[in-house]
Structure 1
């Protein structure tokens, strides 16, 4: 499983699915779902129906990556 570049991390939407977050953290699918179900995933997981979503800002913070800066005037 290939990780993300810094540029790719900065292009992520406001939330990502559990597998995208797992990929960024270097976790496999099985381990990610196991941790999410136990409430032990390393950052907050939002349950929407059967889907698990991870706030990108929290994922970036966990990874020690500054959020992208806005260039709007």
Structure 2
């Protein structure tokens, strides 16, 4: 699969998604360009189930996250970001002084 030249979704972005997303957002989550995502759908090989609504593709967020290996969502994405920041601070405080400054 070809890598997407745009930015990938961060964890906090992924946890703040609506109940269903468009194909471009799902492609970003998987790190592929939208053209590759359309091709995978045509081949029946997209990594998660895709719904066709009118002329648009929609991907249920719960299925998208499950395909990415994310089984549980935090209550709030802000909690996740705070946890990451706390872990980073905690890790730096346990490093020897010479490593903590770099």
What range is the shorter-chain TM-score in? 0.7 to 0.9
- Based on CA coordinates, which of the two structures has the bigger radius of gyration? 2
User: RCO greater where, 1 or 2, for CA within 8 Å and sep 6 or more?
Assistant: 1
More strand by share: 1
TM-score, normalised with respect to structure 1: 0.86
Q: Would you identify which runs of 4 or more consecutive aligned residues in structure 1 move more than 6 Å?
A: none
TM-score (norm 2): 0.63
Aligned-residue RMSD, C-alpha = 1.3
Paired residues of 1:18 and 1:54 also in contact (CA < 8 A): yes
Gaps of 5+ in 2: 1-5, 77-102
Give ranges in structure 1 of 5+ residues lacking alignment.
Answer: none
